[in-house]
Amino acid sequence: MEIIKNILLAAFTSVIVENTIFSRALGTSTLILVARNRKNIFGFGISVTYITAVVSVLTYFAGKIFDLSGDSYIYAPLVYILILGAVYILTLLGLWRFAVTLFVKIRKYIHMSAFNCAVLGAMFIISKYCETFTDYLVNGIGVGLGFVLAVYITAIVYDRIYSEKVPYSFRGFPLMMIYIGILSMAFWGFSGHIANY
Amino acid sequence: MEKIPEENSCKNIIFNAVLKKNPILVSGMVIAPAVMTADSFSSAVTLSAAFSLITFFTLLISSFVPKKIVYTIRIIMYAFIGALVYVPSAIALEYFIPDGIEQMGIFFPLLIINSLIVSRSESIFFLETKGKMMLDIIFCIIGYDAAVILFGIIREIIGSGAAGEKIIGMPVVFSAFTEPFGGFILLGAMAALLRVLLAFIKKVRQK
């Protein structure tokens, strides 16, 4: 029971409280690109969640093999990129061999779901704060789901943000930033705030 | 009436890279490090230095990766080159600005896969001639740095009531602007102001 409680708590934290976009801004550029096309959100979401989960697990094992603390920290990006590259290639090869239709469908955006700040950022954050294998896995999945949640919340207002009714100076990107900022403020409330008066 | 510069002219490349297609205020690239770390002039300068070093050398070396190699491998190579460039950049910057780099935390190594390297390299930079590409990269970096430094200065003034870590006695301080959400909102407001400025320039040119 205690394990289930801890897993649910970790999942809630990584999806809502420490949401990759709204609390750390990781992958914001990718979010803006993905939110344009609602058709791809589901596929993109699955692909990001799968990649963050797999690379988080591999980061756990990499941490057991390589000591990336202290001065060796500067080599961590090299190790993480090798892990990410290997997962990316093996996933594409696996899909090409066993699920050609899916391969054709997702190959347009799978590079975006692998090489973005949300995924690499997850590897750095998880390796810094997590200890057990379960922590790595749950948080890896949580980061992916948190990213999907952020993309979905952004995509549902995409047409309004780019509407001709919005004044030209705010239409599109400027309003998108303000919208993400307001959402970020709302999510910030989950982490708790004590007024100093 | 002023002559509108040709598409490939130097003046046009500089104008596009710095203003019209500013990497952060127009194209929305490399937002995370700016929103999370550039909350003062000094932190914005640190981010600019780190971004300039990593992006310039990664793009320069990556431009020699043969196009014969499939995209799947090329993108991994770009990221790997970024990770290689990160090592001497980290050593150099930790020597000159140790506190600033420590404050950047994970956002410093994350620059190795910034949008300019992953997306813009293939879609714009590597389609140009070497000379034009270099000019475009340099002025894109300058455009990003200028926007981030201005962002950091404004954020420090309205968020902390200071300029260059000196208290300037602002009547009201909005500390929320030093938080990530404040960063997003300020970035949106700056992007809107740039739109107004670009529309004004266009109007003047047409007259």
Where in chain B are the domains? 29-206
Cα–Cα distances in angstroms (integers) from residue A17 to residues A12, A121, A144, A192, in the given order: 7, 16, 14, 9
pLDDT of residue A9: 80
CA dist., res. B125 & res. B198, Å (int): 23
Contact in structure between B38 and B148 (CB atoms under 8 Å): yes
Q: Each residue of A36-47: pLDDT tens digit?
A: 877 888 888 889
Residue B200, min C-alpha distance to chain A (Å) = 11
CA dist., res. A111 & res. A85, Å (int): 10
Task: Name the β-bridge partners of B167.
Answer: B162
ipTM of this complex: 0.90
Q: Which residues contact A121 (CB under 8 A, 6 or more apart)?
A: A20, A24, A26, A27, B32, B106, B110
Q: Give the pLDDT mean for B103-131.
A: 88
Contact in structure between A177 and A4 (CB atoms under 8 Å): no
For an interface test with A, the pick among B151, B173, B184 (most A C-beta atoms closer than 10 Å) comes out as B184
For an interface test with A, the pick among B95, B106, B179 (most A C-beta atoms closer than 10 Å) comes out as B106
Residue in chain B lying closest to A181 (CA):
B181
For an interface test with B, the pick among A19, A29, A82 (most B C-beta atoms closer than 10 Å) comes out as A29
Do B79 and A180 make contact, defined as CB atoms within 8 angstroms?
A: no
CB pairs under 8 A between A and B: 143
* pLDDT bucket at B2, cuts 50 / 70 / 90: very low
Check whether B5 has a pLDDT greater than 70.
Answer: no
The strand pair at B162-163 and B166-167 is best described as: antiparallel
CA dist., res. B207 & res. B190, Å (int): 26
Q: Each residue of A119-152: pLDDT tens digit?
A: 999 999 998 888 889 889 988 999 889 998 999 9
Task: Name the β-bridge partners of B162.
Answer: B167
Cα–Cα distances in angstroms (integers) from residue A42 to residues A25, A29, A32, A104, B91, in the given order: 21, 18, 15, 16, 41
Residue B147, min C-alpha distance to chain A (Å) = 14
Where in chain A are the domains? 18-190
Among A46-50, A99-103, A123-127, A173-177, name the one with the lowest average pLDDT: A99-103
Residues of B in contact with A24 (CB under 8 A): 32, 36, 180
Q: Which of residues 47-106 of B touch A (CB under 8 A)?
A: 71-73, 75-76, 79-80, 82-84, 86-87, 90-91, 106
